[in-house]
């Protein structure tokens, strides 16, 4: 038995049963939670140069359901945390990112993308305008960190300090119960709305806490000094209902939430307009421009795009994974699946993929070519499972 299709991001290719696959190979970095992973019988895999847990002993479905129903901890320390500061930083960042700082209050976070000159996505990221004047805090994809830094150095002059934070773990606490748990440590976080962040103190340690995540649930991302991470996570694990969840559940949760994975659904050959990320670009930035990639993005919006990212629901039970060709009823290729697998919440297969725009208009039937089986499928809107973000007490 060998692995056939895999997540590009979550698994290295090759023999499923090999040592390399299961992360026993050398030269991988560990996160500050490595001991916790081992103590909790994680199955570690090499991911973005780190030993990271794909699952713990309960398995992906149990971890997924626990996150939807209660609260889970994810180690996302592999992600790049970058601090940038300097005079007129907001103006400088607006030349690089399609966002409007005039509409971002201190403490607010925005989802955005680094674009190249062709208007394609170099990486997607979260940017926070912190309460310190002239500072921003970025969280970028692990595999993209070094090219993102290059992009920043190439496009920001020497007056700006670009700092890769290498001494902080990043922990995601996700699920409907996450606020109840975290407020026992930080009372104030209860009222914090989705997409805001601030500094908090606990036991003389400084925590940078953002209310956001990658699961579609209410939750937080917590940046803590490496030296303190293990102790804090063990304290969290003492709280009722808190369990660990791995990269496997993280992937099925984000697919249900219809969130793009860099390397699968978005890449340097995809524009944010094709990927359905137009909502993340303020109208005035489209009109007035002044950021890298503006011209092609504007053209995409004016002329329309040739393909678009959609939700896809295969009929029956067979999962259709990334790389699966999408056919029209005459078996002509009209698109490709970029993320696909099993949805524990819907108890069946779900997928995301690109389909030619003219087909989308005509609303024709589609077939998925899974190893020669032609599976009828339905085009759906995203997300598959409703987002449950905390928008604030009204």
Residues that bind another protein (CB under 8 A): 1-7, 10-11, 16-17, 22, 43, 54-55, 59-61, 248, 252, 317-319, 321, 341-342, 344, 349, 371, 373
CB of 372 to another protein, least distance (A): 10
What separation in angstroms does the CA of 81 have from each of 139, 172, 305? 5, 14, 33
The residue among 10 and 33 lying less far from another protein, judged by its C-beta, is 10
Alpha-carbon distance of 254 to 259, in angstroms, equals 5
The residue among 60 and 121 lying less far from another protein, judged by its C-beta, is 60
CB of 261 to another protein, least distance (A): 15
CB of 147 to another protein, least distance (A): 27
Phi, psi dihedrals of residue 221, rounded to the nearest 5°: -115, 130
Q: Which two tokens stand for residue 179?
A: 């606020």
Assign residue 276 a region: left if phi > 0, alpha if psi is -120 to 50, beta otherwise? left
Q: Which two tokens stand for residue 68?
A: 């939807």
CB of 99 to another protein, least distance (A): 35
The residue assigned the tokens 């698994």 is 11
CB of 252 to another protein, least distance (A): 6
With residue 39 as reference, give the H or E element that holds it: helix 34-39
- 205 C-beta neighbours (distance < 10 Å), count: 14
The residue assigned the tokens 């503006």 is 294
The residue among 347 and 381 lying less far from another protein, judged by its C-beta, is 347
The residue among 271 and 343 lying less far from another protein, judged by its C-beta, is 343
Phi, psi dihedrals of residue 265, rounded to the nearest 5°: -85, -25
Alpha-carbon distance of 264 to 229, in angstroms, equals 30
The residue among 5 and 107 lying less far from another protein, judged by its C-beta, is 5
Cα of 137 vs its chain's centroid, Å? 16
What separation in angstroms does the CA of 18 have from each of 2, 23, 369? 9, 9, 28
CB of 63 to another protein, least distance (A): 10
Tally of CA atoms within 13 A in the half-sphere of 79 that contains its CB: 24
Residue 216's Cβ-count burial label (10 Å; 0-12, 13-18, 19+) is buried
Per the CB < 8 A criterion, the answer to whether 181 and 239 are in contact is yes
CB of 248 to another protein, least distance (A): 6
The residue among 59 and 193 lying less far from another protein, judged by its C-beta, is 59
Residue 194's Cβ-count burial label (10 Å; 0-12, 13-18, 19+) is middle
The residue among 10 and 96 lying less far from another protein, judged by its C-beta, is 10
The residue among 293 and 340 lying less far from another protein, judged by its C-beta, is 340
CB of 29 to another protein, least distance (A): 22
The residue among 11 and 152 lying less far from another protein, judged by its C-beta, is 11
CB of 2 to another protein, least distance (A): 6
Q: Which two tokens stand for residue 161?
A: 């300090």
With residue 169 as reference, give the H or E element that holds it: strand 168-174
Give the SS3 label for residue 199.
Answer: strand
């Amino acid at each position: 038995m060998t692995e056939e299709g895999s997540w590009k991001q979550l698994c290295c290719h090759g023999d499923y049963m090999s040592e390399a696959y299961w992360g026993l190979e050398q030269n991988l970095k560990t996160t500050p939670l490595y001991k916790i992973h081992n103590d909790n019988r994680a199955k570690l895999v090499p991911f973005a140069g780190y030993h990271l847990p794909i699952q713990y002993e309960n398995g992906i479905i149990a971890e997924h359901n626990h996150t939807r129903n209660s609260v889970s901890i994810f180690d996302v320390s592999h992600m790049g945390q970058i601090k940038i500061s300097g005079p007129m930083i907001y103006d400088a960042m607006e030349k690089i990112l399609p966002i409007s700082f005039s509409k971002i209050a201190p403490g607010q976070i925005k989802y955005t993308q680094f674009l190249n000159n062709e208007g394609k996505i170099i990486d997607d990221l979260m940017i926070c305008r912190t309460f310190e004047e002239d500072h921003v805090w970025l969280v970028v994809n692990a595999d993209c960190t070094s090219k993102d830094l290059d992009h920043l150095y190439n496009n920001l002059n020497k007056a700006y300090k670009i700092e890769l934070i290498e001494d902080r773990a990043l922990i995601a606490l996700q699920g409907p119960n996450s606020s109840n748990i975290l407020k026992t440590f930080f009372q104030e976080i209860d009222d914090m709305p989705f997409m805001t962040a601030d500094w908090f103190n606990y036991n003389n340690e400084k925590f940078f806490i953002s209310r956001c995540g990658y699961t579609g649930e209410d939750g937080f991302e917590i940046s803590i000094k490496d030296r303190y991470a293990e102790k804090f996570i063990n304290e969290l694990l003492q709280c009722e209902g808190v369990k660990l969840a791995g990269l496997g559940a993280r992937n099925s949760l984000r697919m249900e939430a219809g969130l793009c994975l860099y390397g699968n659904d978005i890449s340097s050959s995809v524009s944010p307009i094709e990927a359905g990320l137009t909502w993340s670009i303020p109208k005035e930035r489209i009109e007035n421009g002044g950021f890298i990639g503006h011209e092609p993005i504007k053209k995409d919006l004016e002329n329309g795009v040739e393909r678009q990212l959609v939700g896809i629901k295969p009929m029956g039970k067979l999962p259709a994974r990334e790389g699966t060709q999408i056919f029209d009823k005459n078996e002509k290729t009209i698109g490709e699946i970029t993320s696909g697998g099993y949805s524990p919440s819907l108890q069946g297969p779900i997928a995301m993929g690109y389909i030619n725009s003219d087909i989308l208009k005509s609303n024709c039937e589609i077939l998925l070519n899974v190893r020669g089986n032609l599976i009828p499928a339905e085009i759906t809107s995203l997300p598959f499972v409703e987002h449950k973000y905390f928008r604030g007490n009204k």
